[in-house]
C-alpha cells in the first residue's frame, strides 16, 4: 500500500480587522504544548503571519483526514489563545497595509535579500501531497505522467480569487503569484533520475536558486523524504476536500507507476500546451472550460470526469472510490473554494468572505 503525507499552510489574522498578524512563532509554540501534537507536525513558514502543519505518514484516507482535523483543531485553538484566528484560504481577502515580517531563519532572510518584493507578496497558502515512491527513477516516471493532470487538479483546488481586497478575476491567484519565481510552474519532462539530478545541479550552480527547496515546480521529487511532492493545490477550506485530493493524487501516482512498469510511453504534454492549460485552470477554476491532457479545450466537468476515470482502478484497489467520488460530485455541484468566496463576497463583502473561510477550518 502506497503511503501519503499532507502539508497545509494557513494564514493568521486579527479577529476584528481580518488583517494578517505576525504571530506564527507564538501560535506554533502554543500548539506545541498540546499533548496531541508533536513538534515536527507544526512548522514555521516564510512569513510570520503563516504557519504550516504536516501529517505523519498515513496508509489510508481516513487516517490522513483524522490527522488533518486534529492539526487544524490544535492550530485553531492555539491561535485563539494568542488572540488571532486561522484562515485556510489561498490568499488573504482584505488589503494589507504593511509588509508582513519574514520569519527569522537564515534561509528566509536570504530569500528576502534575493527577491524582496516577491517575498513581501508571498501571502499565499498551498496544500502539498507527498506520495511514497520506491526509488527516484520511479519518482521521475510519476512526475512525467502526472504533469499533464496538474492543471485539472489546480482548477479543482482553486481557492484564492481575492487579492488586496478585490476580486482578481482568477480562481487561483496563488498560482499566478507563485509562477513569478525563477524555477516554477509545471515541471519539464525528464529522461530519468540522472537527468533530473543533472538539471537541478545546473540550476543550483547558477546561484539564482540557493537550495532545492526553491524548486517551486508544481510537482517535484522531495529532497527530505522518498516521495513525489505534488504542490499545485491551493489550501482547502475544509479538511474533507483535502482528503479528496490526497486520494486522487495517490491514485494517479499509482496509475503512473503501473503504466511505467508496463512499459507504456509517458504522455508528451508539450510545454506550451501544459502552460496554457495551467493558466486556463488558474483563471477559471471549474467555472469555465479546461484544457485536457491531450491539449483539447473541453467543459470542466468532462475533464474532471476523465481524471476520475484515469484514477478509477487505483481508487477501487484502495477502497476509496465511494468516498472520493462523492466528494468530487459535491465539488462539481457546490463549486470550488473560489466560487464559495465569490458568493460570500456578493452577499456580505470581504468581511463575509473572511468569516466563511475562518469558520470552515474545522468544519466537517
Helix, strand and coil percent figures for the chain, each rounded to 5: 50, 15, 35
Q: Are 230 and 148 in contact (CB under 8 A)?
A: no
* DSSP classification of residue 148: G
Domain range annotation of the chain? 4-360
| pTM of this prediction exceeds 0.95 | yes
323-342 average pLDDT score = 98
- CA–CA distance from 48 to each of 92, 175, 359 (Å)? 14, 21, 22
Q: Please determine, for residue 267, whether its predicted confidence score (pLDDT) is greater than 80.
A: no
pLDDT of 24: 95
In the chain, the N- to C-terminal Cα span, in Å, equals 26
Instruction: Compute the C-alpha angle 303/308/313, nearest 5°.
Output: 145
Is the pLDDT at 36 greater than 90? The verdict is no
> Residue 12: in which H helix or E strand, if any?
strand 4-13
**Concatenated DSSP letters of 140-194:** HHHHHHHGGGHHHHHHHH--B-EETTEE-S-SBHHHHHHTTSSSEESPPP-SSHH
Does domain 4-360 correspond to CATH entry 3.30.590.20? yes
Other CB atoms closer than 10 Å to residue 25's CB: what's the count? 14
Cα atoms found within 13 Å of the Cα of residue 92, Cβ hemisphere only:
23
The cell for 362 is 474545522
In 292-344, beta strands by DSSP E:
297-299
In the numeric block, which cell numbers belong to residue 28? 506554533
In this predicted model, what pLDDT tens digit does every residue of 126-168 receive, in sequence order?
A: 999 999 999 999 999 999 999 999 999 999 999 999 999 999 9
Burial class of 17 by CB neighbour count within 10 A (0 to 12, 13 to 18, 19+): exposed
- Specify the pLDDT at position 364: 64
Question: Is residue 236 over pLDDT 90?
Answer: yes
- Pick from 230, 35, 22: which is nearest to 129 by CA? 230
Q: How big is the chain, counted in residues?
A: 364
Number of helical H runs and strand E runs in the chain: 13, 13
Question: 128: helix, coil or strand?
Answer: strand
Amino acid at each position: 500500500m502506497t503511503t501519503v503525507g499532507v502539508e497545509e499552510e494557513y494564514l493568521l489574522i486579527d479577529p476584528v480587522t481580518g488583517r494578517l498578524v505576525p504571530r506564527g512563532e507564538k501560535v506554533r509554540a502554543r500548539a506545541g504544548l498540546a499533548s496531541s501534537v508533536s513538534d515536527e507536525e507544526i512548522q514555521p513558514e516564510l512569513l510570520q503571519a503563516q504557519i504550516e502543519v504536516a501529517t505523519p505518514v498515513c496508509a489510508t484516507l481516513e487516517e490522513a483526514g483524522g490527522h488533518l482535523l486534529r492539526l487544524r483543531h490544535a492550530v485553531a485553538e492555539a491561535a485563539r489563545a494568542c488572540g488571532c484566528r486561522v484562515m485556510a484560504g489561498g490568499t488573504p481577502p482584505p488589503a494589507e497595509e504593511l509588509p508582513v515580517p519574514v520569519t527569522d531563519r537564515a534561509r528566509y532572510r536570504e530569500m528576502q535579500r534575493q527577491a524582496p518584493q516577491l517575498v513581501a507578496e508571498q501571502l499565499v497558502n498551498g496544500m502539498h501531497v507527498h506520495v511514497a515512491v520506491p526509488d527516484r527513477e520511479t519518482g521521475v516516471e510519476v512526475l512525467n505522467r502526472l504533469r499533464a493532470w496538474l492543471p485539472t487538479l489546480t482548477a479543482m483546488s482553486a481557492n484564492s480569487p481575492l487579492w488586496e481586497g478585490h476580486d482578481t478575476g482568477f480562481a487561483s491567484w496563488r498560482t499566478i503569484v507563485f509562477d513569478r519565481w525563477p524555477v516554477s510552474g509545471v515541471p519539464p519532462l525528464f529522461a530519468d533520475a540522472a537527468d533530473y539530478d543533472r538539471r537541478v545541479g545546473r540550476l543550483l550552480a547558477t546561484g539564482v536558486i540557493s537550495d532545492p527547496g526553491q524548486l517551486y515546480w508544481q510537482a517535484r521529487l522531495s529532497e527530505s523524504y522518498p516521495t513525489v511532492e505534488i504542490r499545485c493545490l491551493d489550501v482547502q477550506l475544509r479538511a474533507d476536500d483535502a482528503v479528496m485530493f490526497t486520494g486522487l493524487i495517490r491514485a494517479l501516482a499509482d496509475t503512473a507507476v503501473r503504466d511505467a512498469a508496463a512499459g507504456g510511453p509517458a504522455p508528451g504534454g508539450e510545454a506550451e500546451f501544459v502552460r496554457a492549460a495551467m493558466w486556463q485552470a488558474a483563471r477559471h477554476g471549474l467555472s469555465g472550460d479546461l484544457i485536457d491532457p491531450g491539449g483539447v479545450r473541453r467543459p470542466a466537468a468532462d475533464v474532471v470526469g476523465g481524471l476520475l476515470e484515469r484514477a478509477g482502478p487505483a481508487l477501487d484497489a484502495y477502497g476509496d472510490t465511494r468516498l472520493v467520488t462523492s466528494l468530487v460530485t459535491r465539488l462539481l455541484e457546490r463549486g470550488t473554494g473560489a466560487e464559495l468566496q465569490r458568493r460570500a463576497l456578493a452577499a456580505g463583502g470581504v468581511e463575509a468572505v473572511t468569516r466563511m473561510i475562518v469558520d470552515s477550518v474545522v468544519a466537517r
